[in-house]
Amino acid sequence: MKFIAPSMLACDFGKLDVEIDMVNKSKANWFHIDVMDGVFVPNISFGSPIMKVLKNSAEKPLDVHLMIVEPEKYIKKFADMGANILTVHVEVCKHLHSIVQKIKNLNMKAGVAINPQTPISSLTSIISELDLVCLMSVNPGFGGQTFIENSYKKIKDLKKLIIETNSKTLIEIDGGVSSKNAKKLVKCGADILVAGSFVFKSKNPSETINNLSSLVN
């Protein structure tokens, strides 16, 4: 089973309740929520009020992606706000092992994200402890960017590392996902596809989600 996780950063915040309801009723598996601080990435997104709305209304797991510096300061806060999966960036974590343990101790699944220029080798010592690796297939910070072609090779390299270490880590792809590359991404080893603009800028987002799910399952 391959998962589809619509990225709520691309939805219409003016009708957030309608967008959440649409995702609830679709074949989507998770809600993907990008949290940005304007420091690690040049953009600011999702604060506590929107997380509270999602916690109360979402009927599927909340997959929270922290694109922020010092994420260790906010782990408990996001656990309290209903995060089911919490992903931090390897590039900003000096004590990655302890952060991953802290996430797990708060009964969330632990993920680590890596930017396009960050090598897979940065995950070697931690891979067996992770529930998920989020491979950024665009430069993080803004929606609607073009997919970076080298990502296919990175997925294969990551899959090889997971198999070699006998890990159960899932591979999530975030950025530029569409019906054009979904099958190839899954063939290379992806388990979860995050889709933002492709879903929410389409004429029928619910149908787009369902078609994407059918395409890879």
Rounded-to-10 torsion of CA 202, 21, 171, 71? 110
Quick check: is 131 catalytic? no
Query: Token pair 């509270």 is at which residue?
Result: 52
Helix (H, G, I), strand (E, B) or coil at 7: strand
Quick check: is 174 catalytic? yes
Catalytic residue among 34, 63, 131, 191: 34
Tokens matching residue 182: 């979904």
At residue 108, what is the residue type? M
Cα distance between residue 159 and residue 111, in whole Å = 15
Would you call 27 exposed, middle or buried from its count of C-beta atoms within 10 A (0-12, 13-18, 19+)? middle
Catalytic residue among 63, 131, 174, 191: 174
Q: What is the DSSP secondary-structure string of 92-126?
A: G-TTHHHHHHHHHHTT-EEEEEE-TTS-GGGGTTT
Cα distance between residue 60 and residue 199, in whole Å = 17
Q: Pick the closest to residue 76 from 97, 46, 106, 96 (CA basis).
A: 106
Contacts 24+ apart (CB under 8 A), 201-204: 201/10, 201/144
Residues annotated as catalytic are 34, 174
